[in-house]
Amino acid sequence: MQEPDENRFRHRDLNWLSFNERVLQEAADKLNPLYERIKFLAIFSSNLDEYFRVRVSQLRQMKRVKKSIRKKLDLRPSKITKQIIEQVKLQQEKFGVLYKKQIIPELAENGINLIESHHFNAEQKKFATGFFSKNVFGHLKPVLLDLQKENELFLENAVLYFLVTFQDENKLGVVNIPVKNCGRFIALKEENQEHFITYLDEIVRFKLDELFPQKNITGIFEIKLSRDAELYLHDIYDGELSEKIYESLKQRTKGQPTRLLYDANMPQEVQKKVRKLLNLGKIDMMPGGKYHNFKDFFSFPDPTDNNDLHRESRPSIPHKNLENSNNYFKTISEKDQAVHFPYMSFKYIENFLEQAVNDEAVTDIKISLYRVADESKLTSCLLQALENGKNVTVFVEAKARFDEENNIIWGRKFEEKGAHVIYSYPKVKVHSKIMLISRLENDHRKHYAYIGTGNFNSETSEIYCDHAIFTANQHIAKELMRLFKVLEGELIIPREKNLLISPFSTRQKFSKLIYNEIENARAGKFAAITAKMNSLEDHELIDLLYKASQAGVKIRLLVRGFTCLIPGIEGMSVNIYITSVVDSLLEHGRIYIFENGGDEKIFYGSADWMSRNLDRRIEVISPVLDEEISREFKDILNIQLQDNVKARIQDASEDNKYVQRENGQKAIRSQHEIYNYLKEKHTSS
């Protein structure tokens, strides 16, 4: 681990591992129901897969960049990669112990037995044979390799395979495990109120000799290869440097392997054969357990229907003004309306859009879509709006990582129906979550705006904690209209005064707000910055926060993911305190509060304090202008800052210590407390 005095900034990729460690802590936390802990194992595994495909892939590729460019960027890819591998191995060891020593026994205690093929009884063997023949065999593609000849072996990204060794050491077998076709978990027959489940892997293992007839099998080892995703270097470096790096890497092979996860019981001589077959280096090899792809545990079945094994389901809180409103335009005109997901339903966005679609006075609908759900009421409403003759403008982010194909498919659907569809700009992502409705009222055009911190996605809204405001404030709405004109190519600069819009003004305005706190502190006034975000990476803003700390500004941060800022260092950051809350719901909102000499300024929106969000993405940060909503946002943030159940201290040691309660202090689990707070506020008379 980096020493705090080694640098003014933590390495983002190393600190990200500290975040994933917090996810693993949730899997180990017995405050969480069993299936919630299983879910966190799946999240940890899924996170790690993406991390290797994107972040570690970038580090690997950087090793091929010209030394002059690496020196300019202060890149040390080999050193960082080595530290990553060491930490990941330690985390995976913890993962394995947790899975074997806690999760599997606790499943058994609840009558759920996850069994392997060598434990199948006669009835289960009969079932496995029939299931294999009927459902599995047709999807298998066994390959027998003769190592004395030249071989070409291609493994698909993230697909499970068995590597099979034989008595004939010159032969190797490879066969896919068809999870996409058959599912990962197979329910076996219940016996004496005991439930039995097995992996698809074990069904294939049980019948493996039929795939390699007349071969004496000596070993079966599960393997999984991760291949790199698009590098997205424009997310990290400015245009000139990213172009130079791309030029350095123009010969790279698309989908290059980044990690081979293999059963640690695989003999070394077999490991060498696999490395040679796949043209891998030692650093590409990652030992693991018997099974891989634990992200499949998202779908692990519960045959008991035991509610005690799952997170308590809480009904959505009805919004006191929107719930029974059949005219959102009137309700929003009277007062700004804030919604908070997933405590409240996504239906408020859908209802707003549906009313706009069916309102004859509405002329235009403009929306930015970052991650589009496969099918939703929102997308159906947009299509219906076109049928009803509305002018619909949809900005589709074609480069939303891993959602590129789905986003483009939806963009074409909208285009076919007559929408004005705009796709991504080169090297710039549109990450803002904005919608604008234009309506003719008394012969004048009035705009209604929606600005949020989360995607227009009904599925993710059920697990992502986000905030949004509907407003008829015409200053905000007209600035949003100008931003849409920028997206449509009618304007070059949006000329905003109230909104902070990246890459035009966000950095400058945040910097000005921080400098204002520094000046107030030096003048002897109380000065403070309180902020919640997903990640903190931008070195320029971090240096400003260090400067503010040294001037006496009290800085309280809530950062869910990674942070490059090192808090609590004498002479540098002693006035900065950071916690991170990782709980059942994903904290995704961004809120920024500046003391401003007693006249607080509160902002919220889509941008983290990361260079890409400030300089290379279209982001919208909005002031909270309504006094009641300002109190609501501030109350919610204060509850999170007081969390002493799921909050971890982010200090120089990076050891993820939980915030400790003092004797007699009330336990505050912020996600539960926020639900109760909003419920009381919106349901009380």
> What's phi and psi for 340, nearest 5 deg?
-135, 120
Residues 337 and 392 grouped into a single domain:
yes
> What's the rounded Cα separation, in Å, for the pair 94 and 659?
22
> What's the rounded Cα separation, in Å, for the pair 530 and 548?
12
Out of 494, 529, 551, a domain closes at 494
pLDDT of residue 506: 98
Is the residue at 315 inside a domain?
no
Residues 242 and 291 grouped into a single domain:
yes
Q: Are 230 and 162 in contact (CB under 8 A)?
A: no
Task: Please list the active-site residues.
Answer: 431
Q: What are the residues facing 438 on neighbouring strands? A: 364, 447
Encoding tokens for residue 272?
A: 């060498």
- The widest CA-to-CA distance across the chain, in whole angstroms, is 86
pLDDT of residue 315: 96
pLDDT of residue 91: 95
Is the residue at 460 inside a domain?
yes
Out of 494, 515, 546, a domain closes at 494
Instruction: Evaluate the omega torsion of the peptide bond into residue 303 and state whether it is cis, within 30 degrees of 0.
Output: no
Residues 167 and 282 grouped into a single domain:
yes
Domains in the chain, number: 3
Domain that holds residue 366: 328-494
pLDDT of residue 571: 94
Residues 407 and 358 grouped into a single domain:
yes
Residues 352 and 449 grouped into a single domain:
yes
> What's the rounded Cα separation, in Å, for the pair 149 and 483?
61
Q: Are 604 and 590 in contact (CB under 8 A)?
A: yes
Binding residues: 47, 371, 401, 464, 560, 588
Residues 385 and 510 grouped into a single domain:
no
- Residue for token pair 């909104």: 499
> What's the rounded Cα separation, in Å, for the pair 208 and 455?
45
> What's the rounded Cα separation, in Å, for the pair 488 and 456?
20
Binding residues for Mg(2+): 371, 401
Is the residue at 463 inside a domain?
yes
Residues 468 and 521 grouped into a single domain:
no
Nearest residue to 490 via CA among 366, 386, 407: 366
Residues of the chain with pLDDT under 50: 1-5, 65, 70, 73, 231-246, 248-253, 400, 402
Is the residue at 285 inside a domain?
yes
> What's the rounded Cα separation, in Å, for the pair 147 and 482?
64
Residues 25 and 170 grouped into a single domain:
yes
> What's the rounded Cα separation, in Å, for the pair 235 and 105?
44
pTM beyond 0.85: the answer is yes
Q: Are 595 and 527 in contact (CB under 8 A)?
A: yes
3-state secondary structure at position 215: coil
Is the residue at 307 inside a domain?
no
Residues 120 and 263 grouped into a single domain:
yes
pLDDT of residue 250: 46
Residues 132 and 13 grouped into a single domain:
yes
- The CATH number linked to 211 is 3.30.1840.10
Is the residue at 214 inside a domain?
yes
Nearest residue to 285 via CA among 97, 81, 124: 81
> What's phi and psi for 384, nearest 5 deg?
-65, -35
- Residue for token pair 């019981």: 265
Question: Measuring CA to CA, how many Å separate 448 from each of 349, 365, 654?
Answer: 12, 10, 45
Is the residue at 567 inside a domain?
yes
Out of 454, 478, 494, a domain closes at 494
Is the residue at 309 inside a domain?
no
Give the DSSP H/E element, type plus range, for residue 648: strand 647-649
- The CATH number linked to 644 is 3.30.870.10
3-state secondary structure at position 387: helix
Residues 69 and 168 grouped into a single domain:
yes
Residues 513 and 490 grouped into a single domain:
no
